[in-house]
Amino acid sequence: MEPAPSALDTAGAAVGGSEWIKDHIRDIPDFPKPGVVYKDITPLLSDPRAFAGTVDALAAGVPGGRIDKVVGIEARGFILAAPVALRLGAGFVPVRKTGKLPGAVTSQSYELEYRSDVLEIHTDALEIGERVLIVDDVLATGGTAVATAALIRSLGAEVVGVACVIELAFLGGRGKLGDLDAVALISY
């Protein structure tokens, strides 16, 4: 097993595939339903060097220019997006499922691999013209990322890209992102 780089080691690391990340992801067969192999990032998060290296690699893969806010998608996206925001000197904004945010929100429905759902963001979370990066753990069918981008744009902000740890390329999610730049550290 190749050791995870330290946080400092990853500053110049190439984004797009590191075996040390794959070594920290476990397969859970038949979850959440029979026939699905779930990619569990819990071992990655529990190893401080691997977690720090992943955060640094996500931050290093951001398209050029300033980032004002990093949006994390419930729930594993929160875990990754908050430290990426700190690395980039940006604010963090959560996007949550219906009924989880207090105050005024705007909503967007979307399709997942297994069901449909609704995401929400506070109406005052972003300012017009802010540059926003979306961070999540997995890019699968693209529905969650597309819905999040729609929420961000509805508030007048600009989506500069999507960054995730894992891309399930066989599900074709990248193709649904349109002109959005997407960075995945590893792909299956």
Cα 135–Cα 46–Cα 77 angle in degrees, nearest 5: 15
Rounded to whole angstroms, how far apart are CA atoms 42 and 124? Answer: 32
**Catalytic residue from among 113, 153, 158, 174:** 113
Q: In a 3-state reduction of DSSP, which class is residue 70?
A: strand
Start-to-end CA span in the chain (Å): 18
Is position 2 annotated as part of the catalytic site?
no
Rounded to whole angstroms, how far apart are CA atoms 28 and 37? Answer: 6
Is position 76 annotated as part of the catalytic site?
yes
- Dihedral of the alpha carbons of 167, 22, 67, 147, in degrees to the nearest 10: 30
Rounded to whole angstroms, how far apart are CA atoms 125 and 4? Answer: 34
Give the residue numbers marked as catalytic. 76, 113
